[in-house]
Structure 1
């Protein structure tokens, strides 16, 4: 069996940007969103998220997010 057939891909997107306000999730400039990448599992996405969040810790309005793309692609499948 190949690695892809042994472990199901649960795609996760990591992205972030500067928020307009700390009270919500609206970005100041959509053209400047930082798309970090798409990862095959939650653990990889979390590691990437942590790295970017730590790099921008001095900017309180900078936020990074993990989007569970696999849930959007196939909402009936259970997983991380």
Structure 2
């Protein structure tokens, strides 16, 4: 946790997550048909908010079997040495 010196309160650690999706070439793989058409839902400060966004996007496209959404743990890519310390 980091300290907010202006208020003296601790802020929760920021663990960035990206939610994105697109149509897959094969349902058993994670290769997208057209990367230029990816739906970038957004970047979120923690897993819980990313999960809510993922769930909403996935539910909107439930009738399209080839459409898949993913949560990417950006904080692990930004600081791979400390990924063992992260708790989602």
TM-score (norm 2): 0.83
Rg (Cα) greater in structure? 2
**Which of 49, 54, 63 is the equivalent residue of 1:58?**
63
Alignment size in residue pairs: 79
* Structure 2, unpaired ranges of 5+: none
**Moved segments of 4+, more than 3 Å:** none
Contact 1:10 1:79 in 2 (8 A): no
TM-score (norm 1): 0.91
Q: Is 1:69 the equivalent of 2:74?
A: yes
Q: Is 1:32 the equivalent of 2:40?
A: no
Contact 1:14 1:38 in 2 (8 A): yes
Of structures 1 and 2, the one with the larger relative CO (CA 8 A, separation 6+) is 1
Q: Per-residue deviation at 1:79?
A: 2.2
SS at structure 1 position matched to 2:27:
coil
